[in-house]
Structure 1
Amino acid sequence: MISWPRLLLFGDSITQFAFESNGWGATLANKLVRKCDVLNRGLSGYNTRWAKHILPKLIPDSRHAADIAAVTIFFGANDSSIKEINPQQHVPLEEYTENLRSMIRYLKSVDIKQEKIILITPPPIYEPSWEQHCLTKGYKLNRLNAVTGAYARACAEVGRESGADVVDLWTLMQDGGSDYTVYLSDGLHLSDEGNQFLESKLWLVLEKKLEALPFILPYWNDIDNNNPESSLFPSIDEKKGE
């Protein structure tokens, strides 16, 4: 069987929506076509309390980890919900931090080294837009940008202490007082501009990890039309001659 290396995207709704039109995951998949399979394992509404139990089911052992080229862990937008208003999704900051550490420890236990792990912090919250979204659903504003920032800083610190790369989306989008609202479609989820922004920052990290991946199967004009098998599967042909 021909197998491709895998890039696993693990996160909440911002990951689940990554394969929509102009989504950051779809753009990555297009860049990596015929080099790496991009797997979307985004789970809308999920937090790290639940995610840490799911990750071992996605990569159950080192045998299943052998073809993992990289993993992104992108949680925090739900964990940082205000407890009094959204207790179902809220995870205390200390627990969130330990849950991230736990997921990284697990990946390392199945032989996925820290250089293959990328943490992505939650993006900033634009409270006026998100409040309008909340009101249409019949509840109060349940996230605050300052609180999400604390979770983003904790995520970045876990990355630093574990040796994993970090895309600090919360900081990058607000760098220099930038108008980060253009990156958000509803105050929380990414707009087309936000998807493009995340993909561009993430690709700077991923390209270094994946640039050595070979193009799988030869270009069409490199195939020997009289003996296609020998050029399609040269390693098999070499074994026949042994």
Structure 2
Amino acid sequence: MSKFGAVVWPKLLLFGDSITEVSFQPNGWGADIANKLARKCDVINRGLSGYNSRWARILLPRLLGVPGSTESHFAAVTVFFGANDAALKDEKPQQHVPLQEYAENLKELTKILASSGVSADKVIFITPPPIHEQTWEKECIIKGCALNRVNAVTGQYAQACVEAAAQSGVDVLDLWTLMQKDGQDYSEYLCDGLHLSQKGNQFVSEQLWMLLQRRVEHLPLILPYWADVDVASPETSLLCD
């Protein structure tokens, strides 16, 4: 057993639904963030396809380590729910969460994080992106169901997310608004009307990095650069705390 302590990486937790779960795919926004933080921070994907904020509120304590332990050392946490909460109640009752409950769930998530030592300044909410109804309806028809999400309703949830962030003292990335800014064609950000295209992933990565950067830019490179290792006595370089 080594007498030297374990090398501990700070953590960036990505908590959300399918848009987070698939973010580690090639050219995904999560993969791009992880690449930027190599040797500085472990980026942990806890995206759960189909989940809503109600289930997230129940589950989050199980995903966090014991407060004060090395396992619970988080540099930042992203909270990216709403796309499923905003599903139309009559078409997707198992995923739909009423608007007010959604807002309260988001605020409760920040309290759960705070109880585990993750302060509000480390938390970033991300609103659901807009829905391109014509494209998503085609997907719904293929699956044998009616259109189950509409952009106007998703916009209400995005606004609730922005307001919950302000009330909780956390930053927010308002994708719903940014992707539709100046009346641009936001369909190019979506691969199926709901989930992100390659361009959408790039957009999220760039926008999120602007919020993450100040939270992680101070993190040092973990373990020495190879050229700085003492060749004559590598233990001196590699086993120092």
TM range (shorter): over 0.9
- Equivalent residue of 2:68, what SS? helix
Task: Map 1:194-213 onto structure 2 (within 5 A).
Answer: 194-213=200-219
Structure 1 residue 190 corresponds to structure 2 residue 196 = yes
2:133 & 2:204 partners in 1: Cα distance? 20
1:33 & 1:27 partners in 2: Cα distance? 10
Structure 1 60/2 Cα, relative in aligned 2: closer, same or farther at 3 Å?
A: closer
For structure 2, which runs of at least 5 residues remain unmatched after alignment?
A: 1-5
2:136 & 2:208 partners in 1: Cα distance? 25
User: Which residue identity is paired with 1:4?
Assistant: W
- Equivalent residue of 1:103, what SS? helix
Please list the CA deviations of residues 110-131 of structure 1 after superposition, one character each: whole Å capped at 9, or x if unmatched.
2211010000000000000000
Please list the CA deviations of residues 54-87 of structure 1 after superposition, one character each: whole Å capped at 9, or x if unmatched.
1000115313564111000000000000001110
User: Which residue identity is paired with 1:86?
Assistant: K
1:98 & 1:149 partners in 2: Cα distance? 17
Q: Which residue of 2 aligns with 1:153?
A: 159
- Equivalent residue of 1:18, what SS? helix
Q: Which residue of 1 aligns with 2:222?
A: 216
Moved more, 106-115 or 179-188: 106-115
Please list the CA deviations of residues 176-221 of structure 1 after superposition, one character each: whole Å capped at 9, or x if unmatched.
1111110000000000000000000000000110000000011111
Please list the CA deviations of residues 86-119 of structure 1 after superposition, one character each: whole Å capped at 9, or x if unmatched.
1010000011011101111111122211010000
1:118 & 1:89 partners in 2: Cα distance? 23
Task: Map 1:58-207 onto structure 2 (within 5 A).
Answer: 58-64=63-69, 66-207=72-213
2:89 & 2:236 partners in 1: Cα distance? 62
Please list the CA deviations of residues 135-161 of structure 1 after superposition, one character each: whole Å capped at 9, or x if unmatched.
000000000000000000000111111
2:203 & 2:228 partners in 1: Cα distance? 36
Q: Which residue of 1 aligns with 2:32?
A: 27
Give the structure-1-normalised TM-score: 0.95
Structure 1 residue 54 corresponds to structure 2 residue 82 = no
User: Which residue identity is paired with 2:88?
Assistant: I
- Equivalent residue of 1:193, what SS? helix
Q: Is the 8 A contact 2:51 2:84 kept in 1?
A: yes
1:106 & 1:61 partners in 2: Cα distance? 12
Structure 1 residue 40 corresponds to structure 2 residue 45 = yes
Q: Is the 8 A contact 2:65 2:72 kept in 1?
A: no
1:154 & 1:16 partners in 2: Cα distance? 23
- Equivalent residue of 1:46, what SS? coil
User: Which residue identity is paired with 2:190?
Assistant: L
- Equivalent residue of 1:141, what SS? coil
- Equivalent residue of 1:125, what SS? coil
Structure 1 residue 6 corresponds to structure 2 residue 11 = yes
2:19 & 2:102 partners in 1: Cα distance? 18
Q: Which residue of 2 aligns with 1:239?
A: none
For structure 1, which runs of at least 5 residues remain unmatched after alignment?
A: 236-242
Structure 1 residue 16 corresponds to structure 2 residue 21 = yes
- Equivalent residue of 1:155, what SS? helix
TM-align CA RMSD: 0.9
1:117 & 1:204 partners in 2: Cα distance? 14
Q: Is the 8 A contact 2:67 2:117 kept in 1?
A: yes
Q: Which residue of 1 aligns with 2:3?
A: none
Q: Equivalent pairs: percent with the same residue?
A: 57
